[in-house]
Amino acid sequence: ETILTIYAESQEMAGVKTYKTITVKPLDFEDIPSVTAGSKTTVTIDGIEWYVLVKDNGKALLWAKEPVASLGTLMFGSNNIWQNSTVRTTLNGDWLNGTTVLKEKVVQTDITTRSQVGSTTWITTQDKVFLLSEADLFGTFDGTKTSNAQDYTYGNTQIVPDVNMRKSTADSWLRSPYSNAYNIASVDTTGTVKCYSYGTSYSVRPALWVDYVS
């Protein structure tokens, strides 16, 4: 929270002045209904700032504004497949269980991820917490424009078109294979797509659907 002190002084009566101190509280879970989806306004839940990317029928898609400090850096996994990844196991296990509000409000959803670069098949996982895809941020898969809904988290929509929302203090993983069988897409600090080997450790910006009505 932020404490502001407002001063006022009379123009007609010299020396007559007063002040008032007010406390400005960050927006939190209860403020989600008032936030415009896709805007830079954030809500703070469980000590983390979240963008509200989408609102749909009483549910909101949240994405961490910055890499989550408690997660540190994580190696993606033993291959570049989201279904088998260390990141997926950690997010849906220890990390989610360690939250207070989110674990009570999160909604499990079907997430589709292309099985490999050059593949026309997708793997569907049921996740409470996940990473966004390359298409979600850039409208592409492996650097090529895609209109296939299975490359996206929501419809066939690029849900983070604003480069300033993609920027953060550290490079972070996405869930999409990129370039070859050893690499995974990521977003760097400037909001640009990059790729790294699945055996490299990078930061994590989780995404999840929450029920903000019930």
H, E, C per residue of 116-139: CCCCCCEEEEEECEECCCHHHHHC
> Per-10-residue mean pLDDT for the chain, 214 residues long?
55 64 71 97 97 97 98 97 97 98 98 94 97 98 96 96 98 97 97 96 98 86
Q: How many other CB atoms are there within 10 angstroms of residue 184's CB atom?
A: 29
Position 2 scores a pLDDT of: 43
Whole-prediction pTM: 0.88
Position 4 scores a pLDDT of: 44
CA distance 200 to 190: 19
Closest of 189, 163, 205 to residue 71, by C-alpha: 205
| Buried/exposed 90-117: b ≥16 CB within 10 Å, e otherwise | bbbeebbeebeebeebbeebebbbbebb
| 3-class DSSP assignment, residue 140 | strand
Position 26 scores a pLDDT of: 77
